Structure 1
Amino acid sequence: MGRQDGSTRQVSAASVDSSTATILHVDLDAFFASVELLDRPELADKPVVVAHDSARSVVTAANYPARRFGVRSAIPLARALQLCPSAVVLEPHFEKYRHYSRQVMAIFDDMTPIVERLGIDEAFLDVAGARGVIGSPAEVAALIRQRVRDETGLACSVGAAATKFVAKLASGLAKPDGLLVIPRAETLGFLHPLPVSALWGVGAVTEKSLLGRGLHTIGDIAETPVAVLRRIVGEAGAAKLHALANGIDPRRVTPDTVDKSVGHEVTFEVDVSEPGVLRRELLRQADQVARRLRASGVEGRTVVLKLRYSDFTTITRSRTLAEPTDVGRRIAEEVRSLYDALGAHPPVRLIGVRMEQLAVSGGAPQGLWDDDEDWRDAERAIDGVGERFGRDAVRPASLLRPAREVGPSKRRPHLPDAGSVDI
């Protein structure tokens, strides 16, 4: 696929027949960086990197001018500044990203009730039913792009196709700020010249195996018997890759899906070994995770603790609760218990809290009594105070002590799995 810097951009002509391309994939362009630039328009044409300014920070996002120097999300900030010494570094503001995400998703909901959110900055839309109200899929896509720009100041790219897989590929090639329509009849002509790495499920290891067998393009995969592919990628992988390579993707756009997980994590400026500091950080993160669960109207059943040490060894520990919860106190107690059970361990570079097995709040049957009822009521009252006076207006007393010299260099919310790449 392209370099994700706009150099391989493809867009459709206005005359394209989009009648069979009823699935849209809409993706906000360089979302985090673009939101930051709304307040700094004078930097729009300059290379900009979003990251905490710290020795251990990694790049959260980069705008397209920065990407042309090879800067990518998730690389160390120090490396990004080596590649692009003129880059301007801006601090991330995740509250802003959530605010603009809600605005954009509301626009999608105006177009069709069939919206599948993939994360904070992208979604699939089935617009087959919008033809009689708004127009063709291409017209719906054009209206979405115009409304997003007019109402938020942001740009988005749209891929339109007969299947979800092809629509997502098309939106990536349309970046930045473009629309690429792939009519059903042109699906194979679009797919087959693309490299095997463009197929969902083909990572570095699988790509190497396929290239080693002389399979370089999606067309090569399509022409290879499934029996041969099985020997390369296994039973399940062979069937999936062969189907996608032949334009077969029966998955429908599924609205109202729940995020797979919600979490927060911190990378410390200096490795931390003091248990009191780590336990307070777990309380802070549990409180943030619970707030996000309540704001999204979901509860989680599995509590996950994540630790990374100075040698980059990473461990996770989890516990599944008898009943799902969105109560910060319960999450904190469980994750602290997981931490205490580890006993002695090396100094910690990164620590994180995550809730998994999410479901809509109130969907699970309740027990005869609710041990968390008082805390749940208190935390929801605090939510109301936070909406009026700021989310940190009320905090646990143990989090009010003066900040230590050893502080976090990066406080990053764990975004929905399917939307974690900011492209």
Structure 2
Amino acid sequence: MSYGAHILHADLDAFYASVEQRDDPRLRGRPVIVGGGVVLAASYEAKARGVRSAMGGQQARRLCPDAIVVPPRMSAYTQASRLWGVGPVTAAKLRERRIRTVADVARLGEAALVSLLGAGAGRHLHALAHNRDPRAVQVGRRRGSMGAQHALGRTPHAPEELDAILASLVDRVTRRMRAAGRSGRTVVLRLRFGDYTRVTRSHTVRKATADTTGLLAAARTLLRAALPEIERRGVTLLGVSVGNLDDNPVQPELPFQADTGADLDAAVDAVRDRFGSTALTRAVLLGRAPGVEMPLLPD
């Protein structure tokens, strides 16, 4: 069996800090910095104070003196129970044998793990502990959805502010769809509440489209329906995605009429492609921070 594979490392600026907040409820809502002498990741609360990845630890401390600094986890010392595929029964068997970390698993031979856990689970954990994944890397498949999201602070947010952010997100997503020649039917609204629980709401439009106006109208309908719950629970993240993507050209409906929305989208795209994404913006977004845009994989 060949173990060669292409591995993509995605650098997510707040990912490791978010994991720490997920695992330790005491860190939620507080500025968290992961790293020692250099910041590896910063929570959204720390980033709001100006802390960024690759920043020196002392500089980060001056910007955010009340930040909680968490040392980066070492993969060898990660709990074995966190490995993919380890459920309660397998975790209990490992604890009985005092196999607690990934390093403990790696020190065991494959035969010993098979004897303890069975053929499937034993071979699976042995491979994971040695950084081997026999699954074939699939290429050539296009993504099934496109989306964007915006992290928010824990302070209350007016409906008008959320609507402006939503419009910005839909603009970003539909521009990507048109550039990739994709159209979609299902609009998904993603929310993370003040207690860090997440929900999604979706709506499927009548025909596949990449027009900003129609998809934004569907997203606004979903947001309006969620406003009472947002008011009760608060919101810390707003996201939108479009699924059921189609590669086929959108068929115009009879009778043929000029599509002013599509013409406007094409004109705006052309200006932004030539002069930059900030060359044109919605009036409601003037003076608002655009939020952090993460690097994107090819569509």
TM bucket by the smaller chain?
0.5 to 0.7
Alignment match of 1:379 (pick from 254, 265, 274) = 265
Out of 383, 387, 392, the position equivalent to 2:278 is 392
Residues 208 and 70 of structure 1, relative CA distance in 2, 3 Å threshold: farther
Identify the residue that residue 159 of structure 2 maps to in structure 1: 275
Tell me if 1:241 matches 2:241: no
Structure 2: distance between partners of 1:266 and 1:56:
18
Residue 289 to residue 337, structure 1, CA distance change in 2 (3 Å): same
1:224 aligns with 2:107: no
Evaluate the alpha carbon distance shift between residue 294 and residue 205 of structure 1 in structure 2; reply closer, same or farther with a 3 A threshold.
Answer: farther
Is 1:226–1:238's contact at 8 Å kept on the other side of the alignment?
Answer: no
Structure 1 equivalent of residue 57 of structure 2: 84
CA 86–222 in structure 1, closer or farther in 2 if over 3 Å, else same: farther
Is 1:362 aligned to residue 248 of structure 2?
Answer: yes
Go from structure 1 to structure 2 and tell me whether the alpha carbon gap of 1:213 and 1:57 turns closer, same or farther (over 3 Å shift): same
1:109 corresponds to: none
1:25 to 4, 7, 12: 7
Amino acid at match of 2:199: I
Q: Which deviations, in whole Å up to 9, do the C-alpha atoms of 1:186-232 show, x marking residues without a partner?
A: xxxxxxx99885997257979855642435315456643489459xx
For 2:140 and 2:258, the matched residues in 1 are separated by 27
Selected match of 1:73 from 41, 47, 50:
41
**Matched residues in 2 for 1:206 and 1:248: separation?**
23
Distance 1:309 1:322 in 2: 30
Structure 2 vs 1, CA of residues 213 and 282 (structure 1 numbering), >3 Å: closer, same or farther? same
Inter-CA distance 312–199: structure 2 relative to 1 (3 Å threshold): closer
Out of 207, 229, 235, the position equivalent to 1:348 is 235
8 Å Cα contact 1:264-1:414 kept in structure 2: no
Relative to the length of structure 1, the TM-score reads: 0.46
Distance 1:239 1:415, change over 3 A: farther
Structure 1 distance, partners of 2:266, 2:205, is 21
**CA deviation after TM superposition for structure 1 residue 297, in Å:** 3.5
1:378 Cα deviation from its structure 2 partner: 2.2
Aligned positions of 1:15-414 closer than 5 A? 23-25=5-7, 27=9, 67-69=35-37, 71-73=39-41, 75=43, 78=46, 84-87=57-60, 197=80, 201-202=84-85, 208-209=91-92, 211-214=94-97, 215=99, 216-218=104-106, 219=108, 223-225=112-114, 228=117, 238=121, 241=124, 244=127, 251-269=135-153, 271-345=155-229, 346=231, 347-359=234-246, 361-362=247-248, 366=251, 368=253, 373-400=259-286, 402-403=287-288, 410-413=291-294
Instruction: After the TM superposition, list the runs of 4 or more consecutive aligned residues in structure 1 that deviate by more than 6 angstroms.
Output: 55-59, 193-196, 203-207
Relative contact order higher in (CA < 8 Å, ≥ 6 apart):
1
**SS at 2:140 equivalent:** coil
Q: TM-score, normalised to structure 2's length? A: 0.61
- The structural deviation recorded for 1:290 is 1.0
Which structure is higher in strand share? 1
* Matching residue's letter, 1:411: V
Contact kept? 1:301, 1:321, Cα under 8 Å = yes
Partner of 1:132 in structure 2? none
TM-superposed CA distance for 1:387, in Å, is 1.4
Cα distance change, pair 391–412 in 1 and its aligned pair in 2 (3 A) = closer
How well do the aligned residues superpose, as a CA RMSD in angstroms?
Answer: 4.9
Structure-2 change in CA distance of 1:84 and 1:332 (3 Å): same
Which residue number in structure 2 is paired with residue 95 of structure 1? none
Aligned residues: 255
AA in 2 matched with 1:84: G
Structure 1: gaps (5+ residues): 1-19, 33-54, 60-65, 90-172, 174-192, 231-236, 417-423
Contact 1:196 1:207 in 2 (8 A): no
Q: 1:389 to 1:254 in 2, by over 3 A?
A: same
Cα distance between partner residues in 1 of 2:115 and 2:211: 49
What amino acid does structure 2 have at the position aligned with 1:73?
Answer: A
Q: Distance in 2 between matches of 1:329 and 1:252?
A: 40
SS of the residue corresponding to residue 41 of structure 2 reads coil
**Contact persistence 1:194–1:217 (CA under 8 A):** no
SS, match of residue 362 in structure 1: coil
Q: Which amino acid aligns with 1:25?
A: I
Q: CA deviation at 1:383?
A: 0.9
User: SS at the partner of 1:335?
Assistant: helix
2: CA distance between counterparts of 1:335 and 1:282? 8
The SS at the match of 2:136 is coil
